[in-house]
Amino acid sequence: DVKVTQSSRYLVKRTGEKVFLECVQDMDHENMFWYRQDPGLGLRLIYFSYDVKMKEKGDIPEGYSVSREKKERFSLILESASTNQTSMYLCASSTGTGGMVEQFFGPGTRLTVL
Amino acid sequence: GEDVEQSLFLSVREGDSSVINCTYTDSSSTYLYWYKQEPGAGLQLLTYIFSNMDMKQDQRLTVLLNKKDKHLSLRIADTQTGDSAIYFCAESIGGYNKLIFGAGTRLAVHP
């Protein structure tokens, strides 16, 4: 069974803090993704990575950065958390091949910034 | 740019059929997907359809694709309380298996 785990289910941080969200997958997938989920907006892609040390911006990268030093781990960093970054953050992974490819999701981290 | 739209809520009676609709914009999408999110969980792939098909059936699930109108629907037959969840439509775009998701339709099943 593919497993994608996220470091925390719930996180509360203060405005201006640096926040790290970690994601680990155990299926040797090439691609990893970070989304944020907000009611009425669905999932929006923040960043994705297609290989170690490789990253691409998604639709809403402002205020975020990422790190992928090992194939199984993809970190999302909020350099200076703000209240508008309060959201559910979902990590996903998939193989790198074309055709029909399933993205496997972690359970999510609900981040509250006060 | 690419966009996927779906209605936000659907309420059905247990045992009835549910139909969730979705429209997308990228006509080059090769695959279209339905994902399900149960309360407190991440998304799970429910079913998918290849763009050269117009229908796919999988047990209680039927996916219909109208490529001309860029319209995708998911029909759940004999809807059960366990089907209560948020359903996301998604289209694949570009490389690296990127997906564009709709806002999600919250399905409520009542007795």
Instruction: Note the pLDDT tens digit of each residue in B15-73.
Output: 999 999 999 987 777 899 999 999 988 999 999 999 889 999 999 999 999 999 999 99
Question: Average pLDDT, stretch A23-40?
Answer: 94
Report yes or no: A43 at the B interface, CB cutoff 8 Å. yes
Evaluate if residue A8 carries a pLDDT over 60.
yes
pLDDT at A23: 97
Evaluate if residue B75 carries a pLDDT over 80.
yes
Distances (CA, A) of A108 to A11, A34, A88, B30, B43: 11, 10, 6, 28, 9
Task: Give B86's pLDDT tier (boundaries 50, 70, 90).
Answer: very high
Of all residues in chain A, the one with the smallest CA distance to B38 is A107
pLDDT at B93: 79
- C-beta atoms of B43 and A102 within 8 A: no
Evaluate if residue B99 carries a pLDDT over 70.
yes
Report yes or no: A50 at the B interface, CB cutoff 8 Å. yes
How confident is the model over A34-74, as pLDDT tens digits?
Answer: 999 998 889 999 999 999 999 999 999 999 999 999 999 99
pLDDT at A2: 65
In this complex, the residue of A31, A45, A107 whose CB is nearest that of residue B41 is A107
Of all residues in chain B, the one with the smallest CA distance to A96 is B96
Residues, chain A:
114
Beta bridge partners of A19: A78
Report yes or no: B43 at the A interface, CB cutoff 8 Å. yes
- C-beta atoms of B42 and A107 within 8 A: yes
C-alpha angle with apex B97: B66 to B55, nearest 5 degrees?
Answer: 25
- C-beta atoms of B97 and A101 within 8 A: yes
Contacts of A108 in chain B (CB under 8 A): 41-42
pLDDT at A97: 67
Task: Give B3's pLDDT tier (boundaries 50, 70, 90).
Answer: confident
How far is residue B100's CA from residue B97's CA, in Å, rounded to a whole number? 10
Question: Average pLDDT, stretch A21-41?
Answer: 94
Question: Average pLDDT, stretch A70-93?
Answer: 97
- C-beta atoms of B97 and A94 within 8 A: yes
C-alpha angle with apex A106: B62 to B41, nearest 5 degrees?
Answer: 60
Q: For chain A, give the mean pLDDT.
A: 94
